[in-house]
Structure 1
Amino acid sequence: MSLLATLKDAQKAAMKAKDKPRLTAIRAVLAEVKQREIDNQTTLDDAGITSVLVKLVKQRRDSYTQYKDAGREDLADVEAGEITVLESFLPQPLSEEEIATLIDSAIADTGAAGMQDMGKVMGVIKAKAEGRADMGKVSGLIKQKLSA
């Protein structure tokens, strides 16, 4: 079953269960997917929908941090709930060992020798780990490997 079909089924289930927080988060994803499809005049595949989910989770995390810093626990809790819902549609996260193996193989595949090859390595890894790993942390690990 495609990710879009899964999202639509989850939307129906949330409507039937009258689960407003979950329904709100799912509708946000579906709206963003539809907007991207209209803007780019294409149909998004699972990888495209995953990138939308990653973007929305990142936005929610930023909002959560800002609300926490401002002392708005009520709004921070709403964002935390949406993060949980959105993350449930993302693929299983990679373990530290899997990330290290992925980085090593990407460096070997691209023949990266130094920091000037960072973009090549990130391109290979992003295609394989999008939504399954924090790309900021992955970037830091790649920098450590390439500068060593």
Structure 2
Amino acid sequence: MSLLDDLKNAQKEAMRAKDKVRLGTIRMALAAVKQHEIDGRLDPNYVELNDDGVLAILIKMVKQRKDAASQYETAGRQDLLDIELAEIDILHDFLPKALSEDELDALIEQAMAESGAAGMQDMGKVMGWLKPKVQGRADMGQLSGKIKAKLNA
């Protein structure tokens, strides 16, 4: 079953359970997917969304909510912060299980060995090797920092 089907089924379950927060968040995600499809129709090179495309949209939504949550926290708006954190939790239900620190370190080591990375000039090679393997399972900003630290060592 595809990720889009999972979202649609979760929407139906949330309706039945009358869970307004979950239903609203899932509807937002489905609307973002639909908007991407509509925008893509104008592009002659558009390819229909697969699970990776839907995953990328969900990751973007989580990142947006994290940014908003940090701004609300800074502004002292606990009410809005709680809403953003609840939405992040709901979106995480549809993302793959996050990688542990040890798993990330092992993947970085493997990427460096297979790409022949020797220094910072090879950062792109390592990121290119890792990105498809960790998409949705690790914070790319933190991953980038770990790679930089290993390449500078």
TM-score normalised to structure 1 length: 0.95
Distance apart, 1:116 and its partner CA: 0.9
| Residue aligned with 1:10, SS | helix
| Residue aligned with 2:126, SS | helix
Q: Distance between the aligned counterparts of 2:106 and 2:36, measured in 1?
A: 33
Cα displacement string for residues 53-89 of structure 1 (whole angstroms, at most 9, x for unaligned residues): 1110010011111111111111111111100000111
Q: CA RMSD in A?
A: 1.0
Map of 1:1-148 to 2, 5 A cutoff?
1-40=1-40, 41-148=46-153
Q: Distance between the aligned counterparts of 1:7 and 1:59, measured in 2?
A: 19
Whichever residue aligns with residue 138 of structure 1, its letter is L
Distance apart, 1:39 and its partner CA: 2.2
What number of residue pairs does the alignment pair up? 148
Distance apart, 1:2 and its partner CA: 0.8
Distance apart, 1:145 and its partner CA: 1.1
Cα displacement string for residues 94-137 of structure 1 (whole angstroms, at most 9, x for unaligned residues): 01111011111111121111111111111111111011011111
Whichever residue aligns with residue 102 of structure 1, its letter is L
Q: Distance between the aligned counterparts of 1:120 and 1:37, measured in 2?
A: 31
Q: Distance between the aligned counterparts of 1:26 and 1:65, measured in 2?
A: 22
Q: Distance between the aligned counterparts of 1:110 and 1:34, measured in 2?
A: 37
Unaligned stretches of 5+ residues in structure 2: 41-45
Q: Distance between the aligned counterparts of 2:86 and 2:17, measured in 1?
A: 16
Q: Distance between the aligned counterparts of 1:135 and 1:48, measured in 2?
A: 17
Between the aligned residues of both structures, percent identity stands at 59
Whichever residue aligns with residue 128 of structure 1, its letter is K
Distance apart, 1:32 and its partner CA: 1.1
Q: Distance between the aligned counterparts of 2:49 and 2:114, measured in 1?
A: 28
